[in-house]
Amino acid sequence: MKLRLVTYQSKEAVAILKRDGVLRLREADQEKTSLGEFHNEGFPYAYRFMLWAMRKRLPAPKYEDTYYPIWAWQTIEGKTPPTPHLDEIHKGKIRLTIEIEESRALLSDFDMFCFLLSGGLYFNTSRKEKKKYEDAWREPDEFFYPNLEQMFTLHRKRGNGYACSAQKETIQATFYELFLEDVVECREV
């Protein structure tokens, strides 16, 4: 089954996609993509965690030097993107509407991801557990942490201190590579 997604990329990233037929994010590419602005604002552990989660759930990337996931949107507050709000946030970038096989993407709850980024990682934990979770966040391994795993449980009505209805859910997708043939529409916003 194919997923229809929307991703926003810099003009440089789209030029690479057109030139090479594939976009994959290596460490050296972070400044050529919209990812660099978020990575540099203090989210490197979150991006590393998402890459670790992808490697756990998806086939390995074709290229060993894939360093960051490519981010896209499946729904924004229950609506199919693009939305005027998203276009405004990404003004000056290129909006790509894409279709990729579900087996290539990891879907997750964006609100839960933000909840974890803002400190929800330590929800209902003792100081000793907090240290263990901080270590797992920085260097993920097979350590099971329920709050992290919840971000991959979509369409839940109630949860452990966090609930979101499917009508308002924002679902993000991450994947290793974007191929030119995945692109359905390309538009500057």
> What pLDDT sits at residue 175?
93
Find the domain containing 100 and state its range. Answer: 2-188
pLDDT surpasses 50 at 142: no
Residue pair 46/113 in contact by the 8 Å Cβ criterion: yes
pLDDT surpasses 80 at 100: yes
Among 18-22, 95-99, 110-114, 154-158, which is the least confidently predicted range? 154-158
Question: What's the pLDDT band for 128 if we cut at 50, 70, 90?
Answer: low
> What pLDDT sits at residue 178?
94
| Structure-block tokens of residue 185 | 């529409």
Among 20-24, 48-52, 115-119, which is the least confidently predicted range? 115-119
pLDDT surpasses 90 at 102: yes
> What pLDDT sits at residue 66?
76
> What pLDDT sits at residue 143?
45
- Mean pLDDT of all residues in 61-90: 86
- Mean pLDDT of all residues in 168-189: 93
Query: φ and ψ at 28, to 5 degrees?
Result: -65, -20
**Exposure of 57 in the CB half-sphere (CA atoms within 13 A):** 19
Q: How many CB atoms lie within 10 A of CB 181?
A: 11
At 77, is the secondary structure helix, strand, or coil?
coil
Question: What's the pLDDT band for 77 if we cut at 50, 70, 90?
Answer: confident
> What pLDDT sits at residue 144?
42
> What pLDDT sits at residue 50?
79
> What pLDDT sits at residue 21?
95
Q: Count structural domains, the chain.
A: 1
Prediction pTM value: 0.77
Residue of higher predicted confidence among 61 and 121: 61
